Amino acid sequence: MPSFADPIVAVSLAANGRTGLTLFAPPWEDADGEEWQGFLGDGSKIVLLGTPDELNTWLGDHPDHDLADHPAWKAFVTRGKRALSPAPEAHYDFDRVYELAAGEPDAETVSELADTIDVAARIADCCEDGKLRALLTGTREYALLVEGETGYSGKDGAPEWTQLGDVIAKTWERALVRIETWLRWEGSSVTPVTAVEEDAALDVDADDETR
């Protein structure tokens, strides 16, 4: 499970070739003792922007967003734009799920996959998507992964990793489609990163290094 040290944190989400920045509020209790968690949203979807500057501008233009009533919001905004840049570990790439599941179950791979599935389940909870929630938290293999109590190496663990891969192959496409319905891409995040753009960026970097 991801570790969230602050009451509101910047996170980066990637899906279907797009990457965007948003905010997430880990579970907190209101005055009545009821537990909540939430993403930055516009009342219907999770909003993602391409850069911290775009995110900062969006927040200024939309003061009535879904986290505006969070008890820590006023303190959060006093931190300025520096709070809008996600930590390196706060990047969750839904496109990498197949790749991770096909790799070796070393500690880093398992941790990244578990965190990614966990964040997907949080989207299901925050958006009250019962079908996505049932798919992720109601599936034994996903649940064991997120709980982090299953080893995937050795005689007993290897079959569990294989079973998890089989489940992901059968279900993740459906999960990703449902996740996408809750994401609103704005600013420069609306443009998917293509292989051509990535190659061009690499060429520019190479040229810079030779100058």
pLDDT digits (tens, 9 = 90+) for 122-163: 999 999 999 999 999 999 999 999 998 788 988 889 999 999
**Residue 115's domain spans which residues?**
95-181
Residue 205 lies in a domain: no
CB neighbour class for 181 (10 Å; exposed up to 12, middle 13-18, buried from 19): exposed
Residue 148 lies in a domain: yes
46 and 19, same domain (yes or no):
yes
| Interior angle at CA 148, CA 10 and CA 2, nearest 5 | 5
Domain count, the chain: 2
114 and 50, same domain (yes or no):
no
**164 C-beta neighbours (distance < 10 Å), count:** 23
Please state the separation of Cα 22 from the chain's center in Å: 9
> Residue 197 pLDDT > 80, yes or no?
no
Mean pLDDT of 180-208: 65
Report d(CA 198, CA 103) in Å as an integer: 23
138 and 169, same domain (yes or no):
yes
Residue 204 lies in a domain: no
Please state the separation of Cα 185 from the chain's center in Å: 14
84 and 107, same domain (yes or no):
no
Residue 2 lies in a domain: no
Closest CA to 12 of 43, 44, 50, 45: 50
59 and 83, same domain (yes or no):
yes
pLDDT band of 193, cuts 50, 70, 90: low
What's the whole-model pTM score? 0.86
Q: Please check whether residue 19 is in contact with residue 13, taking contact to mean a CB–CB distance below 8 angstroms.
A: yes
Residues with Cβ < 8 Å from 51, sequence gap 6 or more? 21, 187, 188
83 and 123, same domain (yes or no):
no
171 and 128, same domain (yes or no):
yes
| Helix/strand/coil for 92 | strand
Share of the chain above pLDDT 70, in %: 89
pLDDT of amino acid 207: 41
Distances (CA, A) of 135 to 119, 169, 174, 175: 14, 13, 9, 7
pLDDT band of 210, cuts 50, 70, 90: very low
Residue 206 lies in a domain: no
Share of the chain above pLDDT 90, in %: 76
101 and 85, same domain (yes or no):
no
Residue 64 lies in a domain: yes
Mean pLDDT of 31-47: 90
pLDDT of amino acid 2: 57
Q: Please check whether residue 189 is in contact with residue 20, taking contact to mean a CB–CB distance below 8 angstroms.
A: yes
Residue 132 lies in a domain: yes
82 and 106, same domain (yes or no):
no
174 and 103, same domain (yes or no):
yes
Report d(CA 4, CA 71) in Å as an integer: 16
pLDDT of amino acid 166: 97
> Residue 58 pLDDT > 50, yes or no?
yes
pLDDT band of 1, cuts 50, 70, 90: very low
Residue 209 lies in a domain: no
Calculate the average pLDDT of the chain: 88
- Residue 22 sits at φ, ψ, to 5 deg, of -150, -175
107 and 170, same domain (yes or no):
yes
| DSSP bridge pairs for 24 | 9, 39
103 and 171, same domain (yes or no):
yes
Residues with Cβ < 8 Å from 153, sequence gap 6 or more? 105, 161
